Amino acid sequence: MAKINFGGVEENVVTREEFPLEKAREVLKEETIAIIGYGVQGPAQALNLRDNGFNVIVGQRKGGASWDKAVADGWVPGETLFEIAEATKRGTVIQSLLSDAGQIAAWPTMKEQLNAGDALYFSHGFAITYKEQTGVVPPDNVDVILVAPKGSGTSVRRLFLAGKGINSSYAIFQDATGRAKERVIALGIGVGSGYLFETTFKGEVTSDLVGERGVLMGALAGMMEAQYNLLRKRGHSPSEAFNETVEELTQSLMPLVAENGMDWMYANCSTTAQRGALDWKNRFRDAVAPVFEDLYDSVESGNEARITIEANSKDDYREGLQVELDEIGNSEMWETGKQVRKLRPKK
């Protein structure tokens, strides 16, 4: 484990150089890794682990689309694909990768099948951090660990196939065997992490929920809508409004920021853009700072967890969700986006 200085703060970081894949395989050579859930993170982590040479099985409710997807991905019913209870029983590392609501529903079944010395693995701190609300309270005789890739399952798999890796955090909630640390690092390397940085279950879920509701999704979508609507209101065409709001951001600027940082971006744009961005940056920062304070307080208090659990527990949640998603997808802004994407030059 290396100490890396991030902006003047030293953090514990693990890289592939100090913990290579061969070492991860050695640590987990006697383990059977059971991936529970084949929806968002499940496929990527299961396939990456399988491709990296680990012993992997999948647990999924039979008869649904996710079961069929697992079969299509080469998991064999009765050999490497099982119902959730059976996969949990067979595994020594149980990766609980169901949705947060799915974990709550499946926990009574999974808990019955855990054995002493097993490792219970999460990619989100939600179920454990809010255990009073979720009811997910692990027994004392299992390791409870976390590897949280900083991206969607699609990104985890794409970066793996490209020979790269996604940054992940790791945490240990309970070390029952004395092997929790080597297990969690080995699993982090196994699922394809580029590097791993240390956190806690609470730290992961708090930053994750704030990030999703903030810059990564909620704030980003809200700001896009505000700018697009303003440009349309002031007489700009849908194509012009979308290109200046979304297309240039996602296709041109963000890849460069990812490669070089925002200061580089400012230094390598026109002087007009440079001056304007620097002058307006702080106004936007100061305007949204109170909203972020409210957001963090809502997450830290458990209010966001309560809202999520209550919403996801409704029988008609998926139908209601689709209505909300259709409202976005069918809006002028994102209908315009569909047309703009079609016009992108083909490779």
Q: In Å, how far are 93, 101, 145, 147, 300 from 173, measured between CA atoms?
A: 15, 21, 6, 12, 18
Helix, strand and coil percent figures for the chain, each rounded to 5: 55, 15, 30
Task: Judge whether 124 counts as a catalytic residue.
Answer: yes
d(CA 205, CA 308): 13
Output the six-digit token pair for 33. 């890794």
DSSP label of 77? B
**218-233 and 332-342 are packed helices; what angle lies between their axes, rounded to 10 degrees?**
90
Distant-in-sequence, close-in-space partners of 213: CB < 8 Å, separation ≥ 6: 219, 295, 299, 304
| Both tokens assigned to 53 | 């040479």
Residue 193: which of 212, 217, 170, 173 has the closest Cα? 170
How far apart (Å, rounded) are the C-alpha atoms in residues 77 and 167? 32
**Annotated catalytic residue, options 96, 100, 120, 124:** 124
Q: Parallel, antiparallel, or unpaired: how do β-strands 56-59 and 119-122 relate?
A: unpaired
List the one residue out of 183, 205, 247 whose CA is nearest residue 26.
183
Q: Is 99 helix (H, G, I), strand (E, B) or coil?
A: coil
Give the pair of three-digit tokens for residue 175: 């070390």
* 9 touches 33 (CB < 8 A): no
Enumerate helices (H) and strands (E) in the chain, giving the number of each.
Answer: 19, 10
**What is the set of active-site residues?**
124
